[in-house]
Amino acid sequence: MSVYAAVDLGASSGRVIAVRIDGDRVSVDEIHRFANRPVRAAGTLHWDILALHQGMLDGLRLAGPVDSIGIDSWAVDYGLLDGDGRLLGNPVHYRDGRTSGVAERMTGELGNAELYQVTGLQFLPFNTIYQLLAEPLLDRAETLLMIPDLLTYWLTGSRGAEVTNASTTGLYDVRTGAWASGLARRLGIPSGVLPELRPPGSPSGTLRAEIAEETGLSQATPVTAVASHDTASAVAAVPSRTDRFAYISSGTWSLVGIELPRPVLSEESRLAGFSNETGLDGTIRYLRNVMGLWILQESLRTWGGADLPALPALPALLGAAEQAPPFQALIDPDDPAFLPPGDMPARIAAYCERTGQRPPDGRAATVRCVLESLALAYRRTIDDAVRLSGQEVEVVHLVGGGARNALLCQMTADATGLPVIAGPVEAAALGNALVQARAQGVVTDIRDLVRRSEQPVTYLPRGDQNAWTRAGARLPSR
């Protein structure tokens, strides 16, 4: 039996997960969970990277001997090292306001169309490229490391840039698979800070002596560069039997898209807000960011903070939402009003009033509004991806935490008119570990092993498809 440690870092927590592979059997066990609490200091919102590092070490110590370690996380954020390899400052959170107006100023000098032709990325104001243009420490930096690469460096002393995360920076040429050094120079970003690119499955060294001593692991334990953007790891673990699938990596954000052999760089694609991000084995994850369960999560926090004893358990609330009348109110989940944290039920009501709708009446109706709106946003994105890429879709794979939400899964099947296969829930950690296993020759076909070891749930379309079509017409096009 082989054992792999998948360090999976999310926006609110980090985990160390042990994935055990014994022939066709794969088990996934959460060994340690630790909080990821951003810290605001002197007006800037930071990640507490040292707490994340310590949480990772605690989890590795609890995991015991493993055959390899891999790290995945969210995208776009980074740390800067000086010439002696020391971190210049805590990484800044992508929700910090320092990039306000930066993108607009930059695209005045370098047009969005030209930028898209190189990077293939959706315009998002927190992309790494815009953060760097607002970075006061850049002129003191020798190396830029994305979050998983930074933690890997602290484990092994080896510096590099794993390509799936590098492709989210806005400094990666999606056409050539190399850093866009000319673009970086034009923007005043020294291309020398960009380290050597590493494909998933590459060795990233073995543990430093002090790390081995603290964790109790052998110093010979290898660290492997996995598909370090968590969505790339999740898509790697999609148990599809066909190339004609759409995926929804559903969590705080929903990443909705298809897998392609080459990027789509048309002007229509840019205007529709699609990104071309690198996946495992050089595939292109052609996707669009959709606001995910964030709106529901913030609604629950609002209700819990105001009246905790009256907050029903989520399953009961979802059951009540299922019985609520359909399509009474709909929102565009991607409206900027829903991006910052805060009182989402009030924002939903304000959106409805602004768009001439009656606001949802009560919590169950609010939850139904959110989930119906998400399902319709998924439909809109999949339809756009098919239209722009020319690739047909036969099935939708919904992975991540949203796969536990049966009502969302069923609504997605109903809205798209396609079967939805839900699971694995732990897709990112599973993809992380199976890339490690493939690098060691333990696994040959990742998706085949996931199909044989997991038991996903299938949701078939039901109900009135025309009603969903009419409801979808109430959402703005992208």
Residues belonging to the active site: 230
Contact 366, 462 (CB under 8 A): no
Question: Residue 377 is inside which H or E element, if any?
Answer: helix 363-389
How many CB atoms are closer than 10 A to CB 226? 38
Residue corresponding to tokens 């380290």: 195
Instruction: Tell me how far CA of residue 213 lies from CA of 16, 210, 219, 221, 234, in angstroms.
Output: 18, 5, 8, 12, 32
Contacts 24+ apart (CB under 8 A), 451-454: 451/239, 451/241, 452/24, 453/24, 453/25, 453/26, 454/26, 454/239, 454/423, 454/424
Q: What is the DSSP string of 296-332?
A: HHHHHHHHHHHHGGG---HHHHHHHHHHSPTTS----
What phi and psi values does residue 206 have, to the nearest 5 degrees?
-120, 170
**Cα dihedral 301→168→282→24 (10° resolution):** -20
Radius of gyration of the chain (CA): 22
Give residue 436's Cα distance to chain centre.
19
Contact 5, 20 (CB under 8 A): no
CA distance 416 to 80: 43
What is the SS3 assignment for 194?
coil
Q: Which residues contact 425 (CB under 8 A, 6 or more apart)?
A: 399, 400, 401, 403, 404
